Amino acid sequence: MSKNKSSESVKVVVRCRPLNRREESNGPAGSIVKMDIRLGQVILRNPRATASEPQKTFTFDAVYDANSKQRDLYDESVRPLIDSVLAGFNGTIFAYGQTGTGKTYTMMGAWMDPEKRGVIPNAFDHIFTHISRSQSDRQYLVRASYLEIYLEEVRDLLDPNHGNARALELRENPDSGVYVRDLTSCVCKSIKEIEEVMNVGNQARAVGATDMNEHSSRSHALFLITVECSQPGPDGRKHIRVGRLNLVDLAGSERQAKTGVQGERLKEAAKINLSLSALGNVISALADGRSSHVPYRDSKLTRLLQDSLGGNAKTVMVATLGPSPQHYDETLTTLRYANRAKNIQNQPRVNEDPKDALLREFQLEIARLRAQLHHRKWRSKQKKEQVDGEDWEGDVDEETDGEEEKAVEEYVKLEEQRLEREKQDIREDQFMLADEKQRLLGEKERMMGDLRKEQEATEQLTAKYKAMESKLLVGGKNIMDHTNEQQKMLEMKRHEIAEQSSSEREIQQQMLVQDEETVELRETFTSLQQEVEAKTKKLKKYLKLYAKLQCIKAEIQDVNDEHVRSRQELEQTQNELTRELKFKYLIIENFIPPEEKNKIMSRLNFDTEEDQWKFQPLVPAESKSSQMKKRPASAVGYKRPISQYARVAIAMGPHSRYRAENIMFLELDMTPPNTASLDRSTDSEPNQSPSLDGSPTKEGGVRKSRSWCQTPKSITSSSSNVSLAACHTATPMTAQ
């Protein structure tokens, strides 16, 4: 990526935690990580290496050793970023490292202990203190959201129904970038409120931890703060700047092999590692600068961090390390990752007057409510003046809200008293008719009701207005700043020192680079002694270069090893997934009928937005209603669907051919007519054949019934069917 004027690189800092008790008891091996705070360097010792093997050195924007304080890290590396967010930039801080190396400690820390509060609580303090100290012509709106990515699903941690809630979808907006649809966002007016939001989310996460094994360390948590600030510009209009801050605590980056998981757990780990390897690929692609494609879409995490890596944001990455020799490989991987991330260039810019600024909507709504309220009060006040008999000329705006309210209250009270008095007069009037009295009293009652209703409406409007207004924080007004001047000075000095030390480190690093590059320029020797000196210097330089070469060679070897290892892991995952796939194929081939399979296949559709396969609904949603409404073709012109046979039957009228039910296909009967042989006089058992009795024309019925059963001879006489019985009797008759 080309370096342009407004681009800046991702700031990478490294922090190493102290050895824990278990690691200390393991032996005197000590820490494998050494840090040069002044130069911002990490020196890593390979516990398995020979003494001659050079140690690995990495340089970062800042390094924090085991003795570092939370406050140091915040003041030096995070404070400038939060200041940028308050000025309208997007900012991201993410902690990356192996499980147990202090990501959560760095991001959250121990809430109760002011010394151990992490980046997030310190950022809360910072934001609200800034608002309390800013000028009173600024208005702020602070919102917070909290989500986690677990098994490639985005879940809202502030949703009261978190456990059962469905996964949220990611959407992209050309103005604000990638965002989470339907994510809860809470307006926060103080540190206490935002801390409460954080606690609610943490509890939702903690519940998951008990339900699902190791959940908390297996999900990525993102706390999002949006700070909108409205400030009058030089043109006299109010301009809004929106800063979005992402505070990210990633899941552990350890290798699958280390976790010793198999089967389902391995798949779970594969999915978690998928996000992290996708993150790694994105970092590599960005750091490389040559690849045109950055695979942001490979995971939810990378899509959410799209702006933070190579986009419109300022980003700080805190890589956390453990000092134990046992985890040398992981530590080295983390350092490599971090080292690569340094090369990522972002293009941060101030988000000025974006279309989706909520503060603007709030301001407009407040202005509307205020105008409504003003109008109501003005009306009441005018009436009061009329009641008092004074000429009202004043301007509502000239009076304060308190005075106005008092005047309105007074007016309502006076009006009530007046109506009460009038009612009393009507009641006491001796000359008025009872009906008239009733009517007038009713009228007064109604007027009083109206007055009360109006007052209630005004109160409701006032409450709504106040609630709306209270959500906006006015610079230096809503939040009390309890720090005294001395403390403020102290803070300022501390910030200055932090800034100084970081610029000092930068200079030191530059000097180091220059030192290495400087070649002995003067080649003229006046004496042998000088020549020896110069050549010794040159030799030293070559020795240095040689050492560097060795380092790079070792590095190449390491990278190769690393590559082989990760390839093996990917192969293992691939094998696992192939096995699973074969198993599924086996089930499909053997247990699912091909036509069902084809039906399912034809309904499958790939959703590019969500990157997954989805079923299309059986009836397309848009055509559903029209399809349901359309009558089937066989019912056109009839009450209900009707068969072709029945239609012909209707057309033929009472024709005997169509009298029978439409339940069987009648074949043509080829038996020759036998009516001629029927002799009634020879009928010895007339009662045996009731169907033929006195009706020779019914023979057609006999024939028809024969054709029904096709093989009349095989049917026994015990059949209960009347027609069959008739058929049975007809046969012997033919024989006669």
Contact residues: ligand ADP, CB under 6 A: 17-18, 97, 99-105, 217, 252, 320
Beta bridge partners of 613: 606
DSSP E strand stretches across 137-185 = 139-150, 153-156, 170-173, 177-180
637: left (phi over 0), alpha (psi -120 to 50) or beta: left
CA dist 382 to 386, 391, 396, 410, 419, Å? 6, 9, 10, 12, 18
Q: Which C-beta is closer to ligand ADP: that of 33 or that of 229?
A: 33
Q: Report, in Å, the least distance between residue 250 CB and ligand ADP.
A: 9
252 binds, among Mg ion, ligand ADP, none (CB under 5 to 8 A by kind): ligand ADP
Q: Report, in Å, the least distance between residue 121 CB and ligand ADP.
A: 14
Coil, strand or helix at 379: helix
Residue with structure tokens 């699973």?
A: 580
- Produce one character per residue of 471-491: b if its CB has 16 or more CB atoms within 10 Å, e if not: bbbbbbebbeeeeeeeeeeee
Q: Report, in Å, the least distance between residue 118 CB and Mg ion.
A: 11
The radius of gyration of the chain's CA atoms, rounded to the nearest angstrom, is 44
DSSP E strand stretches across 276-425 = 314-321, 345-346
Q: Report, in Å, the least distance between residue 99 CB and Mg ion.
A: 7
Q: Report, in Å, the least distance between residue 141 CB and Mg ion.
A: 31
Q: Which C-beta is closer to Mg ion: that of 98 or that of 705?
A: 98
Q: Which C-beta is closer to ligand ADP: that of 115 or that of 435?
A: 115
Rounded CA separation 144/197 (Å):
7
Structural contact between residues 354 and 242, judged by C-beta atoms closer than 8 angstroms: yes
Q: Report, in Å, the least distance between residue 597 CB and ligand ADP.
A: 45
Q: Report, in Å, the least distance between residue 322 CB and ligand ADP.
A: 9
Q: Report, in Å, the least distance between residue 208 CB and ligand ADP.
A: 15
CA dist 228 to 381, 426, 496, 600, Å? 37, 60, 27, 48
Q: Which C-beta is closer to ligand ADP: that of 319 or that of 408?
A: 319
What does the block give as tokens for 450?
């109206």
What is the number of other CB atoms lying within 10 angstroms of the CB of residue 668?
A: 5
Q: Which C-beta is closer to Mg ion: that of 98 or that of 104?
A: 104
Coil, strand or helix at 243: strand
Rounded CA separation 98/455 (Å):
63
101 binds, among Mg ion, ligand ADP, none (CB under 5 to 8 A by kind): ligand ADP
Per DSSP, 109 falls in state B
Q: Which C-beta is closer to ligand ADP: that of 102 or that of 475?
A: 102
Rounded CA separation 145/147 (Å):
7
Closest residue to ligand ADP, based on beta-carbon distance: 102
Beta bridge partners of 224: 145, 246
Q: Report, in Å, the least distance between residue 104 CB and Mg ion.
A: 3
Q: Which residue type, as a one-letter code, is found at position 144?
A: A
Q: Which C-beta is closer to ligand ADP: that of 170 or that of 250?
A: 250
Q: Report, in Å, the least distance between residue 73 CB and ligand ADP.
A: 9
102 binds, among Mg ion, ligand ADP, none (CB under 5 to 8 A by kind): ligand ADP
Q: Which C-beta is closer to Mg ion: that of 103 or that of 505?
A: 103
Rounded CA separation 448/455 (Å):
11
177 binds, among ligand ADP, Mg ion, none (CB under 5 to 8 A by kind): none
100 binds, among ligand ADP, Mg ion, none (CB under 5 to 8 A by kind): ligand ADP
Q: Which residues contact 25 (CB under 8 A, 6 or more apart)?
A: none
Structural contact between residues 495 and 153, judged by C-beta atoms closer than 8 angstroms: no
Residue with structure tokens 């008719």?
A: 433
Structural contact between residues 444 and 423, judged by C-beta atoms closer than 8 angstroms: yes
The total number of residues written for the chain in this structure: 736
Pairing of strands 33-36, 41-44: antiparallel
DSSP E strand stretches across 662-716 = none
Backbone angles phi, psi at 63, to 5 degrees: -130, 145
324 binds, among ligand ADP, Mg ion, none (CB under 5 to 8 A by kind): none
Coil, strand or helix at 657: helix
Helix or strand holding residue 733 (H, E): helix 722-735
Q: Which C-beta is closer to ligand ADP: that of 100 or that of 701?
A: 100
DSSP characters for 400-436? Answer: -HHHHHHHHHHHHHHHHHHHHHHHHHHHH-SSS-HHH
17 binds, among ligand ADP, Mg ion, none (CB under 5 to 8 A by kind): ligand ADP
Residue with structure tokens 């989310």?
A: 201
219 binds, among ligand ADP, Mg ion, none (CB under 5 to 8 A by kind): none
306 binds, among ligand ADP, Mg ion, none (CB under 5 to 8 A by kind): none
124 binds, among Mg ion, ligand ADP, none (CB under 5 to 8 A by kind): none
Q: Which C-beta is closer to Mg ion: that of 101 or that of 145?
A: 101
351 binds, among ligand ADP, Mg ion, none (CB under 5 to 8 A by kind): none
Q: Report, in Å, the least distance between residue 17 CB and Mg ion.
A: 12
89 binds, among ligand ADP, Mg ion, none (CB under 5 to 8 A by kind): none
Residues of this chain that interact with Mg ion (CB under 5 A) are 103-104
Per-state percent for the chain, helix, strand, coil, to nearest 5 = 55, 15, 30
Structural contact between residues 241 and 228, judged by C-beta atoms closer than 8 angstroms: yes
Q: Which residues contact 634 (CB under 8 A, 6 or more apart)?
A: 641, 642, 643
Q: Report, in Å, the least distance between residue 108 CB and ligand ADP.
A: 8
Structural contact between residues 91 and 194, judged by C-beta atoms closer than 8 angstroms: no
Q: Report, in Å, the least distance between residue 601 CB and ligand ADP.
A: 44
Q: Which C-beta is closer to ligand ADP: that of 36 or that of 669?
A: 36
Q: Report, in Å, the least distance between residue 33 CB and ligand ADP.
A: 12
689 binds, among Mg ion, ligand ADP, none (CB under 5 to 8 A by kind): none
Q: Which C-beta is closer to ligand ADP: that of 67 or that of 616?
A: 67
566 binds, among Mg ion, ligand ADP, none (CB under 5 to 8 A by kind): none
Q: Which C-beta is closer to ligand ADP: that of 250 or that of 282?
A: 250
Q: Which C-beta is closer to ligand ADP: that of 69 or that of 630?
A: 69
